[in-house]
A and B are shown apart, each in its own frame.
Chain A
């Protein structure tokens, strides 16, 4: 463990953590909006995949990363509308709808990749941008203030999400329809409309999560690029107790554990690799167990709203 005590290794662990956490933050904070309104969207991974493809393809063909990001957000919005239509308007079982959305995203992104691109290609994605002065702060400067724009955005989204959910009328309405949709409806809040909005916000953010992988961190697209990150994002919402700060803590814990196990391997720590790669999951399960009793699940989570039914 001696090697871990150097600044180089510590900053390396934290640097990797910051990058790994970004897509989780977008996807999990987005899912926090959806779930706070009472809709579980298990299709986050599918949204991420299709959006990651859209971002990459548009950036590849137009040369504009910003257009790629916009394409990802639009794909996220379209899938959010689809999920809302199925789960809010048609009142289908949310878990099954979400799995369907995931499989659609997985299959469609794979098909489009094969038809429109054909083979693995790379692009010049968003590059790290140093924030003047702040990036010069010893140690923390290079970790927090020398990264790409989408990673900055992911961390800035935490206070924004908190503010929207806790301090705005929209946030109160989202919470109201997630806690007691009948009561919200009785005071004139459009339950369906708010749920549509929350699910679409969540899906747009899942789309940005996908883009952060394909045009900022990896600069490529490949089949099943997310490798299940969307499902981990859903778990992080439970981990975080439907609070943006809790989601941040979960994303950082999972990412730092992953970063730590990679550094353990690089430094040759005598631990079987199969045990090392399990470390983030073991830690997350332990943390979930510890925090489970403190979670405040929205009372109407996973329950379609029907006027007249309590």
Chain B
């Protein structure tokens, strides 16, 4: 009888182990804007979907998202809800969520948390941090813009002077200056990541001042692209996601954040029992940042060569870009 009980218990344990092994990894992501924002949030959602597809689909990875979490307390509640409802990995995709992650991660030591853009893991073993060296792609876009501008005036529409929005623009200005220091780059900040109407007004203001090239960062730049499109002939340089589809004849190139490498590494580490403690930075060198040239825009070969050369120089560290 005792042997029989032991056999049943062993069989049950084996069955549970098989069932556990077959369970998909559950990943949740909390984002400040929509998964379709053509910018920051979309870049992460697309990367997650790409990793899911590559690793075997929904049977391997279960994805859930909560979007439009402009309000940090709401986002904190969502992060805690996901952690407490059995998710293995919770990604808080916004630099404003850092303090929430710091507080919540301590209560769920078996859950992996990842947040960005920042490099601080708060010394917690179950927290990853991630950021993008946005200044690198900004520099490349700056080189391209400087080569293409005829008016020698370029406009920059930014949201709030922080994080990768700021470093992208800083890099862009350095890229322009590396080609021609006499080009005027004027900047505007709207004070909001989401105010599309004000971003559009900012772009129109730039255009009225005479530039023939614009760039900018954040979810609200779709308004700037629209303004460039309205005017016609004003070129656009994108960042965070490939923005070519918004204005195929005007978008020259976009810096694209590719989070797939980072996500795969986090999954591999989790499988090996490592739940956090690493800070990732997307760069041109590690493939996390890519320059997507718009195939519909007829970019002169010499200009593209200058862009490619700048990207290679940054990757090989022969060109130093200050963040």
> Chain A residues in contact with chain B, CB under 8 A?
8-9, 12, 15-16, 19-20, 23, 110, 113-114, 118-120, 122, 213, 217-220, 222-227, 229, 258-259, 262-263, 265-268, 273-274, 276-278
Q: Give B219's nearest chain A residue, CB to CB.
A: A222
Interface class of chain B by DSSP: mixed
Q: Give A281's nearest chain B residue, CB to CB.
A: B191
Identify the 3 closest CB pairs spanning chains A and B, nearest first: A277-B191, A273-B189, A227-B195
Contact partners of A118 in chain B: CB under 8 A: 36
Cα–Cα distance between A218 and B155 once the two chains are bound (Å): 18
Contact partners of B190 in chain A: CB under 8 A: 277
Per-residue 0/1 for B204-222: is the Cβ within 8 Å of any A Cβ (1 yes, 0 no)?
Answer: 1110110000000001101
CB distance from A185 to the nearest CB of B (A): 42
Cα–Cα distance between A8 and B201 once the two chains are bound (Å): 16
Q: Is the CB of B189 within 8 A of A265?
A: yes
Q: Is the CB of B229 within 8 A of A15?
A: no
Q: Is there a chain A Cβ closer than 8 Å to B58's Cβ?
A: no
Q: Give B202's nearest chain A residue, CB to CB.
A: A262
CB-contacts of B1-51 with A (<8 A): 33-38, 42
CB distance from A150 to the nearest CB of B (A): 14
Cα–Cα distance between A217 and B227 once the two chains are bound (Å): 9
Cα–Cα distance between A233 and B37 once the two chains are bound (Å): 26
Contact partners of A122 in chain B: CB under 8 A: 222, 225-226, 229, 246-247
Contact partners of B38 in chain A: CB under 8 A: 119-120
Decide yes or no: A114 and B36 within 8 Å by CB, A218-B226, A226-B197 being known contacts.
yes
Q: Give B206's nearest chain A residue, CB to CB.
A: A266
Contact partners of A267 in chain B: CB under 8 A: 186, 209
Contact partners of B188 in chain A: CB under 8 A: 262, 265-266, 273
Q: Is there a chain A Cβ closer than 8 Å to B304's Cβ?
A: no
Q: Is there a chain A Cβ closer than 8 Å to B161's Cβ?
A: yes
Contact of A262 among B36, B205, B219, B247 (CB under 8 A): B205
Contact partners of A278 in chain B: CB under 8 A: 191
Q: Is there a chain A Cβ closer than 8 Å to B223's Cβ?
A: yes
**Could you list 12 further interchain pairs (A-B, Cβ under 8 angstroms) beyond the known A122-B247, A223-B34?**
A16-B208, A20-B201, A23-B197, A120-B38, A120-B246, A217-B200, A223-B68, A226-B197, A227-B195, A262-B201, A262-B202, A277-B192
Contact partners of A217 in chain B: CB under 8 A: 197, 200
Q: Is the CB of B161 within 8 A of A273?
A: yes
Decide yes or no: A218 and B200 within 8 Å by CB, A110-B68, A266-B206 being known contacts.
yes
Cα–Cα distance between A16 and B202 once the two chains are bound (Å): 9
Cα–Cα distance between A276 and B247 once the two chains are bound (Å): 30
Contact partners of B223 in chain A: CB under 8 A: 218, 220
Q: Is the CB of B222 within 8 A of A120?
A: yes
Q: Is the CB of B205 within 8 A of A263?
A: yes
Cα–Cα distance between A229 and B38 once the two chains are bound (Å): 23
Q: Is the CB of A222 within 8 A of B34?
A: yes
Contact partners of B37 in chain A: CB under 8 A: 120, 222-223
Contact partners of A110 in chain B: CB under 8 A: 34, 68
